[in-house]
Amino acid sequence: MIQSSAFAGPAGSAAETVLHALRRRIIEGGIPPGARLVDATVAEQHGVSRNTARDALRLLAADGLAVSVRNAGYSVRELTVEDIRDLYTARRIVEAGAVQQSVSAASELFERVEQAVARTEASVRAGDWSQVGTGSLDFHRALVGLAMSSSLDRFFVGTVAQLRLAFAVIPDEGAFQVQWVPRDREIAELVLSGAREEAAAALASYLDDSEARVIDAIRAANRARHRSAAAASGAAGDEDDADRDPHDASSSTERTGRTP
């Protein structure tokens, strides 16, 4: 389930500063799913007390980006198939709604849309695949920005960070990310030309395809873990069990009626 901070702390607090830094590292792919987050290490890295580091980690957990591990502090969250479905449901509502409401958006907000796509395209030319993923996510943040809602902007920052955790399970993120760049450009051109309904339709198709591919990647990662565990224990793996996320009640095709 998508989460946002229930424990925000005072604006501009040291804990929030550390939170923002950790969140940005996750968005940029610098901290992978499952990584341990130890308060002493976080405190040393950010020049704060361990109490402040613990507060920041609690905030990160409240944002849905970390989970508490008994007697071991925190670890970066690993998303399930149901988490992905939840994220994409939110994306459809928030991003499409922002595009459709963009008629009154300020000109500088449209400029951010263009700039985000241009940065992503530059990263493709440079072969900087991590920045391609970050740039594409920044493009979608720029789309949400067209709604001119600070509440939606704050909400979507957490969504973007969780998406990066989802992308982290993909073995070749460069190959995954590069396929979306022309579609980002297509959506941007439609938005910039004022073709809001067409942009929303293109965005809906984009999100359908992206969701299916991310779910496929998570299932593939589950199978790989199952095979590895089976090999370590000397047991034969059950491919059907490996393919099934424990939190997943049905396949993506069964739920959406779509195939990748």
Tens of pLDDT, residue by residue over 74-117, are 999 999 999 999 999 999 999 999 999 999 999 999 999 999 99
Contact present, 138 and 115 (Cβ < 8 Å): no
Q: Which residue has the higher pLDDT, 242 or 170?
A: 170
Angle between helices 14-27 and 150-167 (to 10 degrees): 50
What is 81-217's CATH superfamily?
A: GntR ligand-binding domain-like (1.20.120.530)
Element (H, E) at 167: helix 150-167
The mean pLDDT of the chain is: 85
Per-domain residue ranges of the chain: 14-76, 81-217
* pLDDT exceeds cutoff 80 at 3: no
Picking from 247, 260, 230, 239, the residue whose alpha carbon sits closest to that of residue 78 is 247
**With 0-12 CB in 10 A as exposed, 13-18 as middle and 19+ as buried, what is 198?**
middle
- pLDDT of 94 reads 97
- pLDDT of 36 reads 93
Query: pTM value?
Result: 0.74
Which CATH code is given to the segment(s) 14-76? 1.10.10.10
Q: Do you know the residue count of the chain?
A: 260
* pLDDT exceeds cutoff 60 at 242: no
Contact present, 59 and 66 (Cβ < 8 Å): no
Contact present, 146 and 188 (Cβ < 8 Å): no
* pLDDT exceeds cutoff 90 at 210: yes
First to last CA, the chain: 23
